Amino acid sequence: METSMRVLSHVDGSAVVSNNGTKVICSVSGPMEPKSRQELPTQLALEIIVKPAEGVQSTREKLMEDQIRSVLTPVLARYLHPRQFVQICFQVLEAGESKDYTVKEVSVGINAAVLALVDAGVPLLSMCTGTCIGITSEERRLIVNPTEPELLECASVHVFCLELGTDENEKIDVRNVLLVDSLGTFDESQLFQVLETGEKECIRLYTELRSVIKDKVSRDFVWKQ
Amino acid sequence: MSRFEIYSPEGLRVDGRRWNELRSFNCSINTHPNAADGSSYLEQGNNKIITLVTGPQEPASRSQVNTKQASLSVTINLTKFAKMERSKSSHKNERRTLEWQTSLVRTFEKNLMLHLYPRTSIDVQVHVLQLDGGILGAMLNGITLALIDAGIAMYDFVSGVSVGLYDTTPLLDLNSLEENAMSSVTIGTVGKSEKLSLLLVEDKVPLDRLESVMAIGIAGTHRIRDLMDKELRKHGKTRVENLTN
Amino acid sequence: MAKDIEISNSESKFILEALKLKQRLDGRACDQFRDVEIELGEAYGDVTVTMGKTKVQCRISCEVAQPYEDRPFEGLFHITTETTPMAGAQFENGNNTGEEEVLISRMIEKAVRRSGALDVEGLCIIAGSKCWSLRADVHFLDCDGGLIDASCIAVMTALLHFKKPDVTVLGEKVTVHPVDEREPVSLGVLHVPVCVTFSFFNPDDTEENIKGEHNGEISIIDASLKEELLRDGVLTVTLNKNREVVQVSKAGGLPMDALSLIDCCHKAYGIVEKITDQIQRAIKQDSIARNQYAHILSSENARES
């Protein structure tokens, strides 16, 4: 996974994440004043926009927006900014999958969003990471982060997203499953396998994202030493 | 290509004009005295345009209020019967129309003394009854006349015309047949100066020919300015006569 | 626009006073174009152009479609420019009827599509029934002025870079060969238009500008966002290397002397030449990088030439 943060200058936070042929740029603006119809009286309102690499927005992008929203909503400390509003834009730079799938874009997008939110300084309750896993139709083998040709060999693909945090003893603790979205045919045992592998992968991503953020913070606050 | 000879070896164009001749130009102002504060009717060749100006008046909504100067808006109504073939769409939200509207607003913003009318709005409606090439130039002329009729302070006339380049000959004031056959340049000049408020080149023109095309265009706009000036003075005279009688 | 960006009085005064002394905030000369960085992606027709802080991505894609009935020999070509709040808070999501948005998209449309930069007849597969439908999606990622110039460079580079899958026609049957099966073919690009934008400022009062003989207006090339917000007039010139003016647009704004406008066009030509060369260079480098193994795989004998 390749990441870079603060790539855009006119938004409050931004990040690019690319992983196995999928590349998504995410920007975060806010918390700012909402239009009156978007305003929530007790909580922070969210607007999520996903733009495809090719063509115009369709129901496919709306689905992705909805999935990403369901993942990000519980992670944000929304009670801290009542009557305010955060705008999160995703622009898919390289889809890395055909129009029939959304798994790679969603999982990469979620990771980019976390980095961009941190960059923008929007308070989070915990972190979340997303990954996608495919199961091949022939050998029933699990592939974490399949490439485009691998995706075509899969009987089923799954997006898996966890809410994670670190407790007082610096131990990683898995707090919640935020999203499991499966496409294709699979059985119960396979799903459990996916959950197991997904958890490992999400924890790995979590440590990776944390080190990226740590690096950035130590660079940004170099003047403090 | 087309059945017509765009520019004959004798130097005549489709409608019998020479290269540097304008189409017939007729205009009158105060044509709709009960409908608007200022109005004009303009015929530039087969272009027929009615322009109505209302304002300075109170803006329709609070958000349009500008405390420093008047806010100007232009709406173009390209009627469905304006062309030879009746068009199905109303052209209202076409990008081309929106672009024209923005261009016209931006042209007149710099030529009107808008700072004299803060917190007001000035609305211009252009109704194109018949369309025959060089419409943007004609709209400039129509709006100038209507604004003068409305008595809104201006620095000078804005007059517009289109010029084409046929091979190496610049042709002044194109009609739609000519416009389709060659690249055209629309020029909007301020008064009798060489200052251009509007300049649009929409098709390929060799860089080194641009100057000669612009020169003939500027001469054309100056001529149009004189024609408009003459009409305005005539109109003024009859008004004064009516008052004294 | 969702929210207009406002510049404080003192900042705008500072910028204007500096411009009178021929100084710009980013240290450029008045007639200096920002350095253009062209990045070509892994896929054909994926180009990111960076000019200072302005960043634009263009992507070309194609599919087989039916040509228009009145133009059976031509393929379809569309350019879409959609703005998102990603480029800056002044852009609203999904609103493409704002003044600025319409002008940008019309300008690119005129510069590239209407000027015939792309040979649309080359997109025809079977006259009247099948053709390629090509679309260029322009994504504005970051806006610090000069969106038109950057987008035009991005679209033209992407068109030069893009390759469409090869097809074989047997009677009415069309076979599209996947890229890994047969070498894809480049598009027919007839000329490379490049846009250069000039911004005008009026240091004197309006009367001097309209009536005076002084012609003291300041003109600068490739304004940044702040300069764009403060300018009194704008001129976008599109030229190609053959010394052809493809499109000029000075849609109102500060009236400018005709001769100084012509002078702008000539200045623009120098920049256009430079940028065209840079585009060609980037394309060439990319094709060399992609074909580094070609000479090993080729069965041809090396020839002295």
Angle at the Cα of C303 from the Cα atoms of C297 and C305, rounded to 5 degrees: 130
- Is B155 in CB contact (< 8 Å) with chain C? yes
Q: Per the domain annotation, does C12 fall within a domain?
A: no
CA distances from A94 to A90, A135, C47, C106, C163 (A): 12, 23, 11, 26, 17
Total domains, chain C? 1
DSSP A142-194: EEES--HHHHHHEEEEEEEEEEEEE-TTS-EEEEEEEEEEEEE---HHHHHHH
pLDDT in tens, C224-279: 999 999 999 999 999 999 999 999 999 888 989 988 999 999 999 999 999 999 99
Question: Within a domain: residue B145?
Answer: yes
Chains C and A touch (3+ CB pairs under 8 A): yes
pLDDT confidence of residue C116: 87
Tens digits of per-residue pLDDT, A66-75?
A: 999 999 999 9
Nearest CA in chain B to C113: B203
Tokens encoding B212:
């000669």
Q: Mind listing the pLDDT tens digit for each residue in B188-221?
A: 999 898 899 999 998 888 988 999 999 999 999 9
Is residue C108 situated within a structural domain? yes
Task: Indicate the domain borders of chain A.
Answer: 2-224
Q: Which domain holds residue C197?
A: 32-290
- Check residue A60 and give its pLDDT: 93
Tell me the C-alpha distance between C275 and C241, whole Å: 10
The position carrying tokens 């606050």 is A221
Q: What pLDDT is attached to residue C301?
A: 64
Give the structural domain span for B28: 12-82+92-244
**A166 Cα to chain C: minimum distance (Å):** 31
Q: Residues C44-79: pLDDT tens digits?
A: 999 999 999 999 999 999 999 999 988 889 999 999
Task: Among B198, B205, B214, select the one facing C251 at the smallest CB separation.
Answer: B198
Q: Do C249 and B156 touch (CB under 8 A)?
A: no
Q: What is the pLDDT of residues B173-183, one digit of tens each?
A: 999 988 888 88
What's the CATH number where B173 sits?
Answer: 3.30.230.70
The residue of chain C with its CA nearest to that of B98 is C102
Provide, as residue numbers in chain A, all residues whose Cβ is less than 8 Å from the Cβ of C225. Answer: 10
Residue B134 covered by a domain: yes
User: Looking at CA atoms only, how far is residue B122 from chain C in angstroms?
Assistant: 17
* A181 contacts A70 by C-beta, under 8 angstroms: no
Query: Does the domain formed by A2-224 have CATH 3.30.230.70?
Result: yes
CB-CB under 8 Å, B103 with C211: no
Number of domains in chain B: 1
- C17 within domain boundaries: no
**Residues in chain C whose beta carbon is closer than 8 A to a beta carbon of chain A?**
41-43, 46, 48, 53, 55, 57, 59, 61, 80, 82, 84-89, 93-94, 135, 137, 139, 141-144, 225
pLDDT at A110 over 70: yes
Domain presence at residue C1 = no
- CA distances, A173 to each of A110, A160, A170, A211, C153 (Å): 19, 16, 9, 17, 49
Looking at CA atoms only, how far is residue C269 from chain A in angstroms?
Answer: 30
C163 or C3: which leads in pLDDT: C163
Tokens coding C13: 């005064």
pLDDT tens, residue by residue, B221-233:
999 999 999 999 9
The CATH number assigned to the domain holding C273 equals 3.30.230.70
Token digits for A188?
Answer: 């119960």
* Stated pTM of the model: 0.90
Say how far apart CA B94 and CA B101 lie, in whole Å.
11
